[in-house]
Amino acid sequence: MSQALNGIQPGTNASGSRTNRQFRLKNRPETRMDADTFELATVPVPALKEGQALIRTCLLSLDPTNRIWVADVDQYMPPVQIGEVMRGLGIGQVVESKHPNFQPGQLVTGPVGWQDYNVTDGKEDWPFSPLPQVPIAPEDLAGAAGMTGLTAYFGVFEVAKLKAGETMVVSAAAGAVGSIVGQLGKITGCRVVGIAGSDEKCRWLTDELGFDAAINYKSADWKQRLIDATPNGIDVNFENVGGEIMQFVFSRLNLRSRVALCGLISSYNDANDEKTKVSITNVLMKRVRVEGFIITDYFDKFAEGTMKLVGWISQGKIKTKSTIVEGLENAPDAVNQLFDGGNVGKLLVRVSDIQK
């Protein structure tokens, strides 16, 4: 028996039947993703079979890892293949269901993809799951208490094992992961120094999020400012960028410090760029523990992490910001904000409104 959510949906054609816009991978980019990387196809939404549910995409998360997924390189998941719908996580709403676990109107999180609709049988490797019923905005469940917040949470507490009184430096500090990392550092009782790409972002970090210092890496004297901001050296580096920034942070690492190696965004568009290479001599001299991690490593602890983050967000101990781009059609262009520094906090595309 099929149940349906009433109301006119985006992605509906003149005859009332649903159509699905999909961005499919057309070409693997040499450097940046551009208009030639994806092609837009419009296909009918198939009728549901028993055991399936139809999910309309509401919020699509844009992530630096999108650039990794379109590259044919060794990575933590299979690359997206040419012709496949671009992979993307996000929040959707069930519009019709012939599956006992999905009810029309229900909000779910999972692999929505760069498309309007998804037919699910609930058996994906990373399956859709109900969004927790908690008192925070859906945008925050897609970011600060979603995958990027969880990356910050497990990176800070499980990988870096941050302790009160330590000094932590985080790069890409005004982004989705970095802005949460720094606030977790303050909650823990640490000195937190952020590195970000504009004075405005730095002011947000210190004045609103409570970072002890924030340094604009585009300013001529940023290295001296990082020295001044870390008088006792650095105990934990939460690394999101790599390249010259990571290299200089490494020169300030203390004996037996830790590096939570979360991302290397400066090299994603050009892995051969010499500027992104980092020497690890200091890792040896200072007996540093460098640990790379991928959030999927912590899948079985997501519920615990989500509830912690939701608690801090709802108490105002973690402040959040999202940069929301309207319309699926803008996703291929918007994703480059991540590489140009256009976003503050979590970058999302609103593909459709959530229906009450």
Ligand X SMILES: NC(=O)c1ccc[n+]([C@@H]2O[C@H](COP(=O)([O-])OP(=O)(O)OC[C@H]3O[C@@H](n4cnc5c(N)ncnc54)[C@H](OP(=O)(O)O)[C@@H]3O)[C@@H](O)[C@H]2O)c1
Backbone CA torsion sign across 205, 206, 212, 215: positive
Find the shortest distance in angstroms from Cβ 65 to ligand X: 5
Determine whether 210 is exposed, middle or buried from the number of CB atoms within 10 Å of its CB (0-12, 13-18, 19+).
middle
E-strand stretches of 264-306:
289-292
- Any idea how long the chain is? 356
Q: Which two tokens stand for residue 33?
A: 């993703």
Cβ-based nearer residue to ligand X, 131 or 262:
262
Indicate the residue among 61 and 97 with the shorter CB distance to ligand X: 61
Smaller CB separation from ligand X, 151 or 320: 151
Minimum Å distance from CB 244 to ligand X? Answer: 8
How near is the Cβ of 28 to ligand X at its closest, in Å? Answer: 18
b or e along 67-102 (b: 16 or more beta carbons within 10 Å of the residue's beta carbon)?
Answer: bbbbbeeeeeeebbeeeebbbbbbbbbbbbbbbebb
16: left (phi over 0), alpha (psi -120 to 50) or beta: left
Between 92 and 178, name the residue whose CB sits nearer to ligand X: 178
220 vs 284, beta carbon nearer ligand X: 220
- Residues of the shown chain interacting with ligand X in the complex, contacts defined by CB under 6 A: 63-65, 148, 151, 172, 174-178, 196-198, 201, 240-241, 245, 262-266, 293-295, 338-339, 341, 343, 347
Closest approach of Cβ 170 to ligand X, in Å?
10
Looking at beta carbons only, is 64 or 92 nearer to ligand X?
64
How near is the Cβ of 184 to ligand X at its closest, in Å?
13
Closest distance of CB 63 from ligand X, Å: 5
- The string of DSSP letters for 175-203 reads BHHHHHHHHHHHHHT-EEEEEESSHHHHH
Q: For 178, phi and psi rounded to 5 degrees? A: -60, -40
State in angstroms the smallest separation of the CB of 264 from ligand X: 6
Q: Please identify, using beta-carbon distances, which residue of 97 and 148 lies nearer to ligand X.
A: 148
**Angle, nearest 10°, between helix axes 147-154 and 302-314?**
100
